[in-house]
Amino acid sequence: MPFPVCVYGRGLVVAFLTLITVVTVSSAADAGPSQPPNIVLIVADDLGWNDVPWHNSLVRAPTLARLAADGVTLEQAYVQPICTPSRSALLTGRYPFTLGRQHDVLWPLQPTGLTLDTPLLSEKLRSAGYRTHAVGKWHLGFCRRAYTPTERGFQSFLGFWTGSENYYTHWRGLDEGGSGLDFRRNMSVAREFEGRYSSEVFAAEAERVIETHPADRPLFLYLAFQSVHAPLQVPRRYWDLYPGVRDKSRRTFLGMVSALDDAVQRVESALRGAGLYDNTVIIFTADNGGQVLAGGNNYPLRGNKVTLWEGGTRAASFVHSPLLERPRRASRALIHVTDWFPTVLRLAGAPQPTPEDRLDGVDQWDAISRGEPSARSEVVYNIDVEKKPGAAIRVGDFKLIWGYPGSKNDWYPEPGITELWPLVPTELAPARYTEVGEHRWSGSNTTWLFDLASDPTEHVNLAAQRPALVAELKHRLLRHRRRLVPADCPPDDPRGSPDNFGHVFATGWCTRFRPLSLQVPKPLFPVAGRPVIQHHIEACAAELQQFAAEMAARYGVAVRYLQEYAALGTAGGLYQFRDQIRAGGPDAFFVLNGDVCGDFRLDRLLAFHRERPADALLTVMATEATRQQSVNFGCIAEDRATHAVLHYAEKPETFVSTLINTGIYICSSDIFQQIGTVFKRKQEEIYSADFEEGPPSETISLEVDILAPLAGSGRVFVYQTSRWWSQIKTASAALYSNRHYLKLYRENGAPLAEDGKPCTIIGDVWIHPTATIHPTAVLGPNVSVGRNAEVGEGVRVRESIVLGGARIREHSLVLHSILGWDSVVGAWSRIEGTPCDPDPNKPFAKMDNVPLFNGDGKLNPSITILGCNVNVASEKIVLNCIILPHKDLMRSYKNEILL
């Protein structure tokens, strides 16, 4: 079949195959069974290239050897250099650098996890009718419940959340001190497995899942073994299999491989026994290269786990299935870990990914099953710009490493195998373990180019001989760099220590209160009965309401939600959507940050801006703050005669001015010329950057990149308001803002509680028309009651937000609190918090963003928050507490966070 060929530089040839035949696939084989195949996806942890029997005959793993021999071994299958990035790529189909997961593993106390913005393979398969189960290691985050397996498409889970632990006790210690049990069945702590070796536990769970699986549903089993990651531990019977290995670590490690092999054998036997084997695809892969410091081995490939060398990224992998059309062969098709996502979806007959899914993986089933060419010609190993920047790419047979390749950069022969083994011919050793030393990394190199077809062990650096090819591959990396999301690597949070939870690794400690969104993004959190962003829209419409109504009637104008493809910064986002913003030729436009509330009076801001010189680009609304609080905001120095901005400093380290930025702007359409200049400069910096120093960020901050440089130019002005304004970053700020919005409702004649007063009303109160209020209840001041909420007989509510569906039983008291959706407060109970308003004795004081914990590690007094679906029993007191969702409180609590 003819196909076009493109030549890059001086000989890099990439062929693009033109498909002529359209194939519709409902299962693994064209004429296969009507039910989609079962998928068993097995991940071995830290298993090296030289740690498997099809690469090293000294490894005693007969099941893996047989399954690989009867299936298709994948000799050019790539993964990420370390664990969390590989698992992220596997389950999302996307390069980790597009997810913020490129830099490191997730450490136990890091308050983050794999982004919730991208669906996982498990979610896709569950939607397609699969029963989905996860067994083994997770390592994709657990500080929030939303990050855990059963919240991410898996119907069951047995295993551990962190990256490593003791194989028998299932405890993990922390470098920072503290230790705890990390073993769960679904969300419950599983203590009953203490003393049992993990691969045996996971094999038994896989057997249970398979044996109880309903025959009329396809199965997805994600079996991520702890083996063979450190610590090096194995039952004695496996250690005894390797008497000829003198190196203790290597002998233990090989025993762990044999234990893994026995576990896989049990899975295969269970599939056969349950009658599922004939319609099952088994995918086996390592998550990264072997760790030579802990018994693993990648020889003759170069490097180690955590490096961009082939030894860190080329996986020991195979596919085994009766559905393979051409089994019993080795495939050299180029495959990346992201490819399993679309490949499995095709096997499942699930809806195929669309361009909007932004997948990096491609469907490789034809290459695997039929032996057709790979569906890809390029692999990006990684792009990381943190600390020691490094990136690598392969196109065709050529591989470029640019920047830091990682530590352990040599070739590491298998330790302890230089003497005679009783069961192995001695002639294997001398040829395989010859010491090589040329072209080793010295630390001064920053660019390597290899031809992997002739030099798969990366000995001969061709960078100096092929400069045009190096330039082309660097250019490709920089194009991919545009999609890079900053690494999501926050510092450890001591709140996550298992010592805080009875020596158990727990979830819920990094839940972000924005301002306790509970179930919705912060802009949609209801304050005074309306989403925060609705107050912004009303502020915009106040001046232009009649005009907007006429435009809506004539042109069907609607509010639009535009989402950035990545975090671009405020000005970067404006520039991305400049065509939509400038549609219709407006002279100016408002910009309002979503985390502020206030009496915006945009009509006055607009009038002020129109009075400025014709070339004015931007007017920022400002307000007064205390001297101490001002350094937490953007500070403005003003020419009091002209109101021009003379100087701007974003969160300065020392005092600049008490005049602070409110995050409200009006901009001339000419501002896009200024933003465009910054955009072009940043693009030039990116294309000329060297990864040794790290390319600059693409984000464009409105404050740092636009407002600050324009200060003193006479084209940026400040409008000072004395009206109410507040950030809304905490739950306490939500109550504070609720009070002021209710006051605004009354001043502007907006409806609050009905004139009929369904109960005793004190001060400003807003009640949703669908709420049920007993006539004897007393509400106010500063109370909002949401849709379908119920307030019972004799209830007293003050300074609180009652969200939709919440129920307060008779004679209960609620003070300075937020009651979450569908929560229940039992009869005669008291829910009370501590007000956190600005200091009334300090003029211009703003809300302080007080941390949850003080310097002694104790909870700071704050309002009480009940998450959604929290049930408080009757006659209980909950004081100064934060209760996460779905909890039943059967006793009283004080100054606690309940996870």
Counting other chains too, the contacts that 677-683 makes at CB distance below 8 Å and 24 or more residues apart are 678/571, 678/705, 678/706, 679/572, 679/575
CA-to-CA distance for 523 and 532, rounded, in angstroms?
5
Strand 530-531 relative to strand 526-527: parallel, antiparallel, unpaired?
Answer: antiparallel
Q: Which amino acid belongs to residue 5? A: V
Spacing of C-alpha 271 from chain mean position: 34
Kindly give, in sequence order, each residue whose CB lies less than 8 Å from that of residue 166, ignoring residues fewer than 6 positions away: 172, 231, 233
Nearest-Å Rg of the Cα atoms of the chain is: 31
Spacing of C-alpha 653 from chain mean position: 31
Cβ(224)–Cβ(134) below 8 Å? yes
Nearest of 781, 769, 775 to residue 793 by alpha carbon: 775
CA-to-CA distance for 101 and 87, rounded, in angstroms?
10
Cβ(128)–Cβ(490) below 8 Å? no
Tokens of residue 678, six digits: 């910054």
Per-residue HEC secondary structure of 18-71 comes to CCCCCCCCCCCCCCCCCCCCEEEEEEECCCCCCCCCCCCCCCCCHHHHHHHHHC
Q: Whose structure tokens read 């969702």?
A: 885
Active site residues: 83, 139
Q: Whose structure tokens read 């030579």?
A: 292
Nearest of 790, 783, 797, 723 to residue 752 by alpha carbon: 783
Q: How far apart are the first and last CA of the chain?
A: 61
Spacing of C-alpha 459 from chain mean position: 37
CA-to-CA distance for 528 and 226, rounded, in angstroms?
50
Alpha-carbon dihedral 26, 32, 34, 40, rounded to 10 degrees: -80
Provide φ and ψ at 761, rounded to 5°: -115, 130
